[in-house]
Chains A and B, each alone.
Chain A
Amino acid sequence: MSAASTTAPGATPQRTLRPRDAADVAEIVATHPRALEPLGGGALRDVGHDAEADVLALDALAGLVAYEPEELVLTALAGTPLATLERELAARAQRLAFEPPDFGALLGAARPRTIGGVLAANLAGSRRVSAGAARDHFLGCEAVTGRGERFKGGGRVVKNVTGYDLPKLLAGSWGTLAVLTSVTVRVAPLPETERTLVVPSATAADAVTAMSAALGSPHDVSAAAFDAERGCLLRLEGFAASVDARGAALLRTLREGAERDGAAAPGPDADVPRAEIALLGAGESRALWSEIGGAAALTGWPVVWRISVPPSDAPRVLAALAPERYLLDWGGGLIWAAFSAADAARVRGALREGHATLFKAPREARAANAVFHPQPAALAAASRRVKHAFDPGGRLSPGRLG
């Protein structure tokens, strides 16, 4: 191992420990006198609360362990940069089965993402709504408990129900249960091509109705988002002939729907000529969804909430919150809402179901508000017992989740 001391502005002096391998991780966790915060590339370091801990930098645990395209699985050391994996996968016309979003622009920090970090945060991009989240494709892992024990969970095959699904539990645990050292994920074929339909929608309510219809259609819409400045965005991916046919069919469905609605209830803007539905080609479509998944349009605001709700509830929540700028993703199920200041009670008070994360905020605002959504008592108690099962001494990332 190697160690270095740094002092982050305004924080207690932190040491950084750099284990060489998994055995080294176990030894450090077992013997280091202070608590430890496992860190991949640091891309999400500014999300959540600051941990009162030394840094366990996993950048030396990098490299592909096994990649078998025909088995649809890939095993890599947890500190492997996502960019490395994406390159390897693309060379075999594959990609991760989920879509990890890039928040570099939003968070204003171009630090590298690692596969371990992506899984530990379980953040999913726009394809979440059709393909699932990171947790859905996290098949197995090797990790180190807060007691410094090495263990494995899950397996290295795509279908496995042997024992508890530990990868699910570690996905989204933000490094507070165990230190991931090696992970196995499911991969998927890269689609031959993609297109995006841009449907003019005046309001969030119109957009949610259109997105719900599109996602409930047989046309395999892989993502559906709404940006008031662009309209309702519907993504189609797959084999070229299929994408063309589905695009045409979806266009027909949407036009019929619009005419039906228009005939039934001519709105106040009935004289305004109906804007045409536009079709984006593969390159433009890919760039657009990278921006949407990373909520890049909200970069200019100091406070950004990430709110998960039942899609049909999104228009009501938006009306209650009146954010300065917002995006809808996941067919309306994910609201990105930007404000000038953080007011957790108001945001969380507007929800009937779901949860709100104070995803981006100045350090003082994060210190004053719970970043992660508080849980009901019985659930919080169960979560505490799970934490205790992995890390009874509170050695891993204390305070990170609040």
Chain B
Amino acid sequence: MICLPTPDAALVARRAEIVRALRAVVRRDNVIDDDVRLAAYETDALTAYRQRPLAVALPESTAEVAAILRYAAREGVKVVPRGAGTSLSGGAIPAADAIVVGLGKFNRILEVDYPNRCVVAQSGVTNLAISHAVAAEGFYYAPDPSSQIACTIGGNVAENSGGVHCLKYGLTTNNVLGLELVTPDGDVVRLGGKHLDSGGYDLLGLVVGSEGLLGIVTEVTVRILRRPETARALLIGFGAVESAGACVAAIIAAGITPAGMEMMDAPAIQAAEAFVGVGYPLDVAALLIVELDGPVVEVDLLVERVATIARANGATYERASANERERLAFWAGRKAAFPAVGRISADYYCMDGTIPRRELPRVLGAIAEMSERFRLRVANVFHAGDGNLHPLILYDANVPGELDRAEAFGAEILKLCVDMGGVLTGEHGVGLEKRDLMTYQFADTDLEVQHRIKHAFDPDVRFNPGKVFPTLRRCAEQGREHVHSGSERFPDLPRF
């Protein structure tokens, strides 16, 4: 059970005045204060937690954002930035005494610049829209979080989003060249641009992944890449998780950097196959999908090498895609893993730790033991190339106590990841969800240093309060609701 911050009653009491002030800054319709429309903003994709904000402002320009933030700074009003609200860690969940600043109207691509291989977009543009804008010329934007049809580039910046291809192409931070940021004081600063490696401290690198704690991003410059000539995938099955792990290590040791390398355990394979029926083998303990992309000559060569490595590591099943239709079919099951698990369980809770890859067999063994102890089933999908593990804990929120057990189970998995030399979150962010576990990964001084950085930007701690850092002394007994299957937000959004 995660506590939402205790609201400041004085701020809550000033709601009408705050709404009036916002309406003086942005168009009247762009301030939401009625309960019906506010309901759409009360949670993100961590739907077990809900909180209605004081009001929502939807500015249309950087000048409006700056004016809102200057007002908020002057009056001590708290601010929760929001993109599409697809965060899996509760990064965009409002606070009862805060306004939400939504970037939904920042939806224009401002410039496509092929000679400099970059795109300048407002922060509310979706991740996929950037790739679509440059697809005709054969380019794309590399980071591809599973929610890419809905999530915004500004949200990606806040969370430093990854995707299945980040082993080869990096996270958001490696693909962002510049930002326009409005600081909590209402100053507009530009970090980076179309050039590389700005002088001075790398505030661009700091702001990426800062989870909305340091300001509001209004514009993003990203680098775009030429689409690889081709891509092929292999589907490789193993009788034991250990063999699959050894195969992954051997592929890396052979100097091969696959575009994607995904692993599923038996429960995940079975759920996916039952859901989409793409022909996954059902008699294996672990299934690897290895994707190679690049020039045709290279891809064909590496498909052969990976197949050889797989056989040497005891693969019991092996298929290489012969065409694009087959490649997509291999991925279809993996990409359907979350909804597939959703079909066999009322609810599921997705974890996101990263571990050194060599520890995978041990970690999966320990998760199986926990699964028995907590009396909850679990299916594991794993970005095997970079060690990012997504255990899906199956529970039923309508059964009293199951959500609490699921959360306790999840916390134990994340602590295990840290014990193994890994981290709490590989790509979903700390947000509200993992906030209270930060003290497990970081010592007091480590967190103190991070707090000081927060204070350097936001001395009154008004931005995205209650997220990332476990500073709360008191706990409000509110905020969490039981959300049952079918009432989930973004039910159609792929998650992987």
Contacts and interface: CB of A to CB of B under 8 A. Distances in A.
B255 A386 contact: no
Interface residues of B, number: 93
A376 interface: yes
Nearest to B249: A70
A72 B292 CA distance: 18
B226 A71 contact: no
B252 interface: yes
B189 A242 contact: no
13 contacts: A128-B196, A145-B449, A151-B443, A151-B446, A151-B448, A158-B386, A162-B423, A165-B206, A173-B201, A218-B138, A238-B298, A333-B195, A382-B189
A104 interface: no
A246 interface: yes
A57 to B, nearest CB: 24
A386 B173 contact: no
A348 B320 CA distance: 54
A311 B116 contact: yes
B452 A390 contact: yes
Interface stretch (B50-58, B147-155, B364-372, B424-432): B424-432
A29 interface: no
A219 B294 CA distance: 8
B358 A68 contact: yes
Interface string A326-346: 000010011000000000000
A149 interface: yes
Contacts of B397: none
Contact of A218 (B204, B295, B425): B295
B388 interface: yes
Interface of B: 113-117, 138-139, 159-160, 162, 166-167, 170-171, 173-174, 183, 187-191, 193-206, 208-210, 226-229, 249, 252-253, 255-257, 294-298, 301-302, 354-358, 383, 386-388, 421-430, 434, 438, 441-443, 445-450, 452-457, 468
A166 interface: yes
Given A159-B354, A162-B424, A218 B229 contact: yes
Contacts of B302: 239
Contact of B301 (A69, A242, A355): A242
Given A173-B202, A376-B190, A385-B456, 15 more contacts: A69-B252, A70-B358, A124-B196, A128-B197, A133-B196, A133-B197, A153-B449, A155-B354, A160-B426, A165-B208, A166-B449, A191-B255, A242-B298, A245-B298, A379-B191
Nearest to A142: B446
Nearest to A307: B195
Contacts of A381: 187
B256 A189 contact: yes
B295 to A, nearest CB: 6
B205 A135 contact: yes
B171 A330 contact: no
A172 B202 contact: yes
Interface in A143-160: 145, 149-153, 155-160
B252 A355 contact: no
Contacts of A291: none
Nearest to B215: A382
A310 B205 contact: no
Contacts, number: 265
B301 A330 contact: no
B226 A216 contact: yes
Interface in A43-81: 68-72
B201 A386 contact: yes
Contacts of A165: 160, 173, 205-206, 208-210
B422 A155 contact: yes
A208 B116 CA distance: 10
Contacts of B448: 149, 151
Given A71-B387, A161-B209, A165-B208, A172 B197 contact: yes
Given A157-B354, A157-B387, A157-B421, A378 B430 contact: no
Nearest to B139: A216
B257 A69 contact: no
A177 B201 contact: yes
A157 B355 contact: yes
Interface in A315-369: 330, 333-334, 353-355, 357
B194 A157 contact: no
B443 A152 contact: yes
Given A157-B355, A160-B426, A310 B456 contact: no
